[in-house]
Amino acid sequence: MKKEYIETIKNSAGRLKILLEDFFELSIIEQADYPLKMEIVKFNSLIIEALFGFYEEFNRRNIEPEIHIPDNDIMIMVDPSAVKRVVENLVINTIRYSTGDVTIHLRRINSVVQLKISNSVHQLSKQEVNLMFDRFYKADQTRTGSGTGLGLSIAKSLMEKMDGIIYAELKDNQLTMICEWESKYS
């Protein structure tokens, strides 16, 4: 019995540590003087690089994502590490809560570069979708996984720092998270 208590305390301390680290990161990002290292990048390559890190996790979960990234270079001014963090947080959320299909689209629409990450979901309401980028919000409050509920809020803050927007849509049990950046480069 004593061993079980110690394990419970150890697990709780680990979750608290992760929560504090995420909360600290979010508070740093939200400061007015948070430094971004904006540079012109080949956005296609940046997104592929960010997604490549999830190859094993997709395999482990038996998810074969459908990825649509154009061959022609999409040039954009962003902070590459901030973009990677946004993509990582969105993909982690997608892998964690997907009930099957995952689709990733990158495209340019006039002067807007748009990244869409979609996954199938069960029992998610429009109200929950509207709250998903809020601090600590978890659509399923019974989940006890390692998530802190701050990942999507961190993604939103980083997008705002890069003058981008992030939002989500729900249609026919398909959740789509959309990031958009203005780009004046061809």
Beta bridge partners of 31: none
Higher-confidence position of 13 and 70: 70
Residues 6+ apart with CB under 8 A from 94: 102, 117, 119, 177
The pLDDT-based confidence of 142 (bands split at 50, 70, 90) is very low
Higher-confidence position of 111 and 124: 111
- Positive or negative, the CA dihedral 123, 141, 164, 17 is negative
Whether the predicted pLDDT of 119 surpasses 80? yes
Residue 136: left (phi > 0), alpha (psi -120 to 50), or beta?
A: left
The Cα–Cα gap between 22 and 93 comes to 15
Q: How many domains are there within the chain?
A: 1
Residue 143: its pLDDT value, please? Answer: 42
Say what the pTM is: 0.78
The pLDDT-based confidence of 148 (bands split at 50, 70, 90) is low
Instruction: Specify the CATH number for the domain of residue 171.
Output: 3.30.565.10
Structural domain of 90: 2-182
